[in-house]
C-alpha cells in the first residue's frame, strides 16, 4: 500500500543491480489511467465542531481517508519522484529521459471489481493512447539507447565539420553496422 507506484523500488533495484551506473537511460512509469473529471483527488477538510469521543473517532476516520487518498495517488507519487530525480540529477547532460504513460479517460472510472466494464474500459484506453505521442517518444528513446558509436579514426573536413569513421554497435552485441558520422561543431 505504501508503494502504489513502485518507481522508487524499481530505482533502488536498478542501483543494486548496476551500482556503477549513476542514472538509467530511461525511466518509464506505466499507469492504469485516470478520470478526466478531475486531476486531483478530492480534498478533505478536517473541521472540529464539537468535542467528544464520537467526533474524535470521525476525525480519525477522515484523517485515515486523507492518508489513503494521498497514498493511492500514483500520479502524485510519480511527480514527487520526478522532482527529486531532476533536482539531484539536474547536472547530467543530457538529462534523464523520464516518461509516465497513464491515459486520461472520459467520465468516472469503474470500480476495481467491476468486471463488466473491462471491455469498454479497454476501448477507451486504446482510443486515449492513440492520441498520446509519449509512446512514440519512449520507443525512440529505447531504440536510441540500444546503440552506441565506436569511433575508429577521425580527420578534418571542411569548415566546422570533420569526419569520424567507426561502427554503430548494439548494446546486445548481436550486430554491428559499419559507417561514418559527420559531426558539426
- pLDDT tens-place string over residues 52-65: 777 777 777 877 77
Count: domains in the chain = 2
Instruction: Say if residue 52 is in the same domain as residue 135.
Output: yes
- Could you tell me if residue 135 is left (phi over 0), alpha (psi between -120 and 50 degrees) or otherwise beta? alpha
Strands 176-184 and 147-156, how do they pair?
unpaired
pLDDT interval class at 119 (50, 70, 90): very high
- Domain hosting 184: range is 147-185
pTM, to two decimals: 0.59
Residue partners of 35: CB distance under 8 A and separation at least 6: 104, 105, 106, 107, 108, 109
For position 115, what pLDDT does the model report? 92
For position 44, what pLDDT does the model report? 47
pLDDT interval class at 91 (50, 70, 90): low
Q: Distance between CA 169 and CA 166 in Å, rounded?
A: 9
Instruction: Say if residue 165 is in the same domain as residue 132.
Output: no
Contact 107, 36 (CB under 8 A): yes
For position 36, what pLDDT does the model report? 82
Please tell me which residue, 152 or 16, carries the higher pLDDT value. Answer: 16
Q: Which residues pair with 178 in a beta bridge?
A: 167
Instruction: Say if residue 96 is in the same domain as residue 128.
Output: yes
Instruction: Say if residue 136 is in the same domain as residue 151.
Output: no
Instruction: Say if residue 18 is in the same domain as residue 92.
Output: yes
Q: Distance between CA 176 and CA 148 in Å, rounded?
A: 10
Please tell me which residue, 71 or 129, carries the higher pLDDT value. Answer: 129
What is the sign of the dihedral through the CA atoms of 156, 158, 161 and 167?
Answer: negative
Is residue 1 included in any domain, yes or no? Answer: no
The Cα-based distances of 49 to 46, 52, 71 in angstroms read 10, 10, 27
pLDDT digits (tens, 9 = 90+) for 27-74: 888 887 888 886 444 444 555 556 677 777 777 787 777 666 555 677
Amino acid at each position: 500500500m505504501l508503494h502504489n507506484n513502485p518507481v522508487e523500488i524499481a530505482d533502488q533495484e536498478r542501483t543494486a543491480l548496476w551500482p556503477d551506473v549513476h542514472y538509467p537511460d530511461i525511466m518509464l512509469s506505466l499507469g492504469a489511467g485516470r478520470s478526466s473529471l478531475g486531476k486531483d483527488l478530492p480534498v478533505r477538510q478536517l473541521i472540529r465542531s464539537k468535542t467528544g469521543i464520537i467526533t474524535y473517532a470521525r476525525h480519525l476516520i477522515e484523517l485515515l481517508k486523507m492518508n489513503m487518498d494521498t497514498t493511492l495517488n500514483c500520479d502524485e507519487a510519480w511527480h514527487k519522484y520526478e522532482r527529486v530525480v531532476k533536482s539531484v540529477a539536474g547536472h547530467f547532460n543530457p538529462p534523464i529521459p523520464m516518461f509516465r504513460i497513464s491515459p486520461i479517460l472520459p467520465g468516472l472510472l469503474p470500480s476495481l471489481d467491476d468486471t463488466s466494464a473491462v471491455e469498454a474500459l479497454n476501448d477507451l484506453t486504446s482510443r486515449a493512447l492513440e492520441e498520446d505521442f509519449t509512446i512514440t517518444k519512449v520507443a525512440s528513446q529505447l531504440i536510441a539507447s540500444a546503440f552506441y558509436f565506436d569511433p575508429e579514426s577521425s580527420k578534418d573536413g571542411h569548415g566546422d565539420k570533420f569526419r569520424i569513421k567507426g561502427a554503430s554497435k548494439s548494446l546486445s552485441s548481436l550486430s554491428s553496422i559499419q559507417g561514418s558520422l559527420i559531426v558539426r561543431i
